Amino acid sequence: MYKYFKEKEVIGLNSDLVHRLDTAREIAGIPFIITSGKRSAEESIRAGGFNTDAHVAGFAVDLRCRDSRSRFLIIKALIASGFNRIGDEIDHIHADIDPTKDVNVIWR
């Protein structure tokens, strides 16, 4: 179903989100390691999020990012594939397509 992701990696995630991730992965030319996808409200709170965040709805992923080159390639590819909500965190990049949240934002 997806070129770069196995079904077990994307359980509970919105299919449009995963298709965009597949496109972004193709553009970036580097592996995308999902460190967090769909979460329960309790899991999200324990991870420092909120019980209403995009992970709970299946509209978000966190992608491992360990160096500045990968960070550039991932963010550039996410934008090119239609993501307009991106979090630039210390060890990962958050990407979501939650239709209930503000768009055209990048945060740190």
Rounded Cα–Cα distance for residues 48 and 32 (Å): 22
Residue with tokens 């992965």: 25
Rounded Cα–Cα distance for residues 16 and 107 (Å): 22
Rounded Cα–Cα distance for residues 37 and 91 (Å): 15
* Residue 52: per-residue pLDDT: 84
DSSP label at 85?
E
* Residue 16: per-residue pLDDT: 98
User: pTM to 2 decimals?
Assistant: 0.94
Question: What residues form DSSP beta bridges with 96?
Answer: 60
Domains and their CATH numbers in the chain: 7-107 (3.30.1380.10)
- Residue 75 CB neighbours (<10 A): 20
Amino acid at 57: A
Question: What residues form DSSP beta bridges with 59?
Answer: none
* Residue 73: per-residue pLDDT: 98
Contacts of 88 (CB under 8 A, 6+ apart): 71, 75, 106, 107, 108
108 residues of the chain, pLDDT tens digit each? 899 999 999 999 999 999 999 999 999 999 999 999 999 999 988 888 888 899 999 999 999 999 999 999 999 999 999 999 999 999 999 999 999 999 999 999
